[in-house]
Amino acid sequence: MSNLLPKAQAFAFRGTPPFLLQQRVGLAVLTLLLLFACIPAALAHEFKVGDLEIEHPWSRATPPGAKVAGGYFTVVNKGSVPDRLLSISSDISEKAELHEMGVKDGVMTMRPVEGGLEIPAGGKVALKPGAYHLMFTGLKRQPKQGEKFPATLTFEKAGSVKVEFAVEGMGETGSGDMGDMDHAE
């Protein structure tokens, strides 16, 4: 959410004629109010399994013909033992892989996470653009903005949980930015 504020301000002030300060402040406040009004709906979905909470799974609309889509969410472990995200499946794609980003020879690359992703006891792990993320590969159809599609996450200790990925706009970058990185092999 913090990433929205600078954008909102930039939007409110960019290129505006020299309004009275009052009007400009009023516009900024209105923009912020509208943003806050939208946020509860956007963040209102979370899922629980055992000691784990899966917050706001989301994906991005893809252009026609795209074969991959990203998947993002935060896992919070309220328990006293670590757990591990082992696998993901969804009807939207043939496979879903867990990827991590790294820099190799100055180039941003991604590679599959081997052996699952540890969720530390009492901690949390965020899957987001530019960091750990899911990759739905072999898409059977394009996720459309505004829909939700189901997926199953399987954890070593907590077991399996069904979640729904909210599909956001193509340009949505979440709190990080991996740009238009091409995931094709």
Q: Residue numbers of the site for Cu ion (CB under 5 A)? A: 99, 110, 135, 183
CB of 127 to Cu ion, least distance (A): 10
Nearer to Cu ion, 49 or 85 (CB): 85
Nearer to Cu ion, 77 or 128 (CB): 128
CB of 99 to Cu ion, least distance (A): 4
Distance CA 54, CA 69 (A): 19
CB of 159 to Cu ion, least distance (A): 25
The β-bridge partners of 48 are 53
Nearer to Cu ion, 56 or 183 (CB): 183
CB of 128 to Cu ion, least distance (A): 12
- Compute CA distances 133 → 10, 42, 74, whole Å: 28, 19, 10
Closest residue to bound Cu ion by CB: 99
Longest dimension (CA), the chain: 59
The helix-helix angle for 4-13 and 21-43 (nearest 10°) equals 150
